[in-house]
Structure 1
Amino acid sequence: MKFLHTADWHVGKVLRGRSRADEHAAVLRELVELARAEDVDAVIVAGDVFDTAAPTPPSQALVMQTLMALREGGREVVVLAGNHDDPRLLDVYRPVLGTLGVHVVGRFRRPADGGVVSWTTRAGEDVRLAAMPFLSHRYVVRAVEALSDTPDQHNRSYADRFAHLARALTAGFGDDTVNLVAAHGTLPGGKMGGGEREAQTIFSYYFEATAFPPTTQYAALGHLHRRQQMPGPCPIWYSGAPIAVDFGEEANTPGALLVTVEPGRPAQVREVAFGGARELRTVRGSLDELAARAEEFGDAWLRVVVAEKPRAGLADRVREILPNALTVDIDEDFRPTTATRRATTAEGAPRTPRDLFRDYLAQSGRSDERVVALFDRLYDEITEAGGGEG
């Protein structure tokens, strides 16, 4: 059996106010073309298909079109909810997409009610896939009770409960079947890609690799955006995201995993890189240096660190040179040190707002006569309307 493992699409992601819809469409086309070229039997999407719990209609349309394209030719497609997805929304799609052969799992389910997805490949191999969507602390106890019919101790850790759920969903794994797990969450030791939600990647949300039994031939994980293999009792991989979602992910190689597996043997994994999205780059230098290198940056989205003293209009000048600059920061070496602002003059008289504003500009390295003049004009208008400075 051959299948694709992908996750963390984050369709609908906006980067510093810039839409990335065209980039998402391009990388998802690459995914569909890869499925066709490799003639895979199945595709596993391990969560975070959307960037927000309330995706826009265009985002929903792109995801639906991609899932149907992946399904063509009779491929099995399994989609989990991630921490960015609304599991209720995915469960709304579940009945309709299910009739079309796309298995959607928004919330934890019993094995016989969609928690375990089963099918037979074209080669006659029986497949069992345990589907474990993202589970928040709010619902973890409820999920365990739903699967076990017994009250759960509320002081048990998240990892213990996750392992309890994994045991229930993998109990039917056999020696003569292809046994897979798909899950969305964090394993200890995993390297973050840079764009994950910190609050849902901390220790209290960890689960252990030992939750997956040795009979598992491959565990397809989502949530960490960097593609990586994790140690454990079976092959465990994060596919990584097909697109770098923020500047913290510049060093990642977006793509997917192509997996080959047969009953009784560990899976074989091949990494596939995608190039449909624009590169994200952090660049540094003075205005002159940046201008000299402008052509080198191509169409990459840029985070620019300027090696010059801060002043009015500096960010606008950077964007004139580099139209793809999404953020502009000042190099640490050029940032002024913060000085304590005096509340009175040397003679002991109270300092006026004009004095304080000029002090602020001087201390922050932003002295500019145009800004001072605008402040004076605004201040005069306000004080005249209010009856003076007092």
Structure 2
Amino acid sequence: MNIFNLFGQNKQQNDPYWEFDKTKHFRPKLNKSDFFKLTGFDFGWLVLEPISEFIQDRKGELTKGNTLSYGQKTLYYWWYVDAQVTNGGFTQFYYNDYGMYVPTIIKGLKHIGDNKMAELVNRSYELYLKENKKIKDARKGGLEAFSNLYKEITDFDELDDEYYKLNEQTMKNIENYIRKNLNEFCLDENGNEFDMSFVGELKTFYSPNKPKEVIQLSNGVVSGTYKSYFENGNPKEIIEYINGEQTGERNEYYENGNKKYSVKKLSDKKQFEHFWYHENGNPKKLEHKLLDKDERIGEYKEWYENGQLEKTGTYVSNYERNGQWIEYHKDGSKRIEAEFKNDNFLIHNCWNKKGEQILTDGTGLYINEYSIFDGIIDRNEQEYKNYKRHGKQYSYSNGKLTLYQEMFEGKEHGVTKSYDDNGNLEEESIYENGKEISRKKIK
């Protein structure tokens, strides 16, 4: 069954998600400065978020979905694909029962002219129909059955790899369509249609004498220097654009006027698969709804609020670094000397806050304290030998132990214990040379 040949961009039977009533067209209000400043997935989420809040849930997709234009539907339903596949592949997409949207997704992609992605989604659907029974049975078996699907249906792996090569181009295609058909998607914050022929400075203000943002526009495209300010008048962000693309150097500041970080963009922009590293060191593909891949590609520096340099190195994508990486404590003393090489993070040397060297030439104790979410301080204490985790590994969240591991030459070997939010032992496993031998849950 080849639905790619069956479903075009026009209304089809048995697809309630593709219906559009122009008399009820929903067009949310968007901030002009955000619209012109953002690109890529940040831009996509800016346009999508009010639509998602309006639709709310699967029931709303049927009761309110006919108020969305075909372009809006393209963004809305393809986002399901990207969120699921970049997090767990097409296996996760179909396991979580998003297959019902595939006809709409394909018609939307064809509507904006992205036949490559439409054809790929179609092939994934054909495989889903072939393996549908296994997927349905796995839904009844819980998490373990879901994990086993990756071993039982390996044909999705190749499709996943193809997807990672295409998804950013699809986002560009959707963005280009939105910018060419802007008033199909939204109005400005005052409820007016956007003037895409505007040339000059777009200014926003906290009050008549307090500028908030200054954006240089040429026919609706950012071109020149973008500047934003804190209410006290100090600069907040300065970004250089040419024809809507970030170029040169990007700087962000603290409210006290000290620089927060700067990125000097690389001239040769490369494409890389995106990763987010868990606190236990194992990589996992990132669901990148809120991040634009162009945000920090290049020579990167970050400072503490007191003005002291905190980190310096090079990003080759928004999530991947390459080459030398150095970090400092707040007092200016060195914290780590490390290197990103062939997707590996090699820690050469590490010092604690007292200035004592605790790891030398890849052997010793590595301590890393960081915060991803406000109010939560995570901390890793990991023993290394010859650049591989070797010995005891501890992970904490706000001072409570969350994970304990015993490692040998980079692989789990011995006891692994996980703890709940209250610090109580939740699960205990035994590993030998990276393979799980036994597991038991603690009541």
When normalised by structure 1's length, the TM-score is: 0.25
When normalised by structure 2's length, the TM-score is: 0.23
Q: Larger C-alpha radius of gyration, 1 or 2?
A: 1
Q: If each structure's strand is expressed as a fraction of its own residues, which one has the higher value?
A: 2
Larger relative contact order (CA 8 Å, sep ≥ 6):
1
